[in-house]
Structure 1
């Protein structure tokens, strides 16, 4: 099998996860990494043992040694980087969302259709073995789905002193919990069912309308205490409940929360069909409950 040379754009939490996953593949070489400054890129290159470092994503995309680009940046940068990678003819794997609005994503869809390279968005939870098993069981054994329910709950923004760039609509977009983790639930369940969500009705809530932002930006999971933080207004949702209709008339509902104490990364669903009910929980990913 031919080796694939990959360039990583971004040096934060998502980038480290991509690097960890790619290094488990015998046919992939990570040849370059880019960040918002040359200094940050070089520090990351030393930390991860990557040969090339760029302080500008355009330089990485223009590097002839880079065949595939992994976009692991903040949401506001996804569209320009994805567009540049597609226009350069590079293979592309982007963290979600692809863009900040539907006009931008429509342009990316057009560019991807014209390109001979492969492109994808990182909705990776559908690739768990037992998620695939649930999909295959439903297709093989069920004639009709009655209801779908579940959710995605976390606790990393539980306190009003928890802060992250995702709380800023200018960096993350106008939706937070629904867009960041609700989108994963929707993609996973649509994949398992083989059906698309066509209607939604949402009841959203901001639990902490004021949070305390550290005066100096730190890691992804930052906490701002009174002596080193400033209060900021929060306009995006901490969670909510959503009713959904699928394209065949199937009904569903899910709950999203980033303020549920003790829940680290619980994406779960239960699908009630005519012959069985299937339940799966990401915090116990090697278990599929069949009723």
Structure 2
């Protein structure tokens, strides 16, 4: 039973789990003192006969805060397969009344999670998928891609909104709300505002917002150079009807002699320097 536990739990075991499997505290301490087991935190051990993987590191970090702790943020995102690389700092959410100091390599969020916000995966408590996405999406540059990928592959937007609204007031809540608003169906306003802020910050002039071209209005137009800039929301908005209408619109603008540059909301957020460089090349050609 001990071997089965270690094999399925990344070689990590707590003192309580060891007792449940029939080991006394003395037997655990003997293994620790002779170097067979390594102490990773209060009452948490790693059996040092195998590689200390990212899974072992995250599991040990979460378990060191007690049975009510849950992996959250980017740690939960990695555990649920939303990201390729595990974060260096493991974020752990614990109840507000939890005692104890923060351990090395971890970041603690003290918040009472609702039952709907916690799930168990491979024996570890983590925040559920919706909450994990909205929290991880605001943790670092590039995090918005987590939300975009999740919307394309695994979750519905309403699920993310529900998770967000259940946890209003948490760290990163305003930024998460802006991401969700940017992902709303047919809502380009946030992307347009981002584009205009970038143009102003780069001191680029000669453009007009909502400029008429070939019977349509482009998000930003440079009349003198005949350059039109269009913005899109998140990548998951790409059903066949929208795709067809966008191509008809873009072809009409191009046939009127205009060059069309198209940027997604993620382009504007993640690669603003690249966006500005492309616009400068187009209007200076």
Q: Normalising by structure 1, what TM-score? A: 0.27
Q: Which has the larger radius of gyration?
A: 2
**Structure richer in strand, relative to its length:** 1
Q: Normalising by structure 2, what TM-score? A: 0.28
**Structure richer in helix, relative to its length:** 2
Which structure has more RCO (C-alpha within 8 Å, separation ≥ 6)? 1
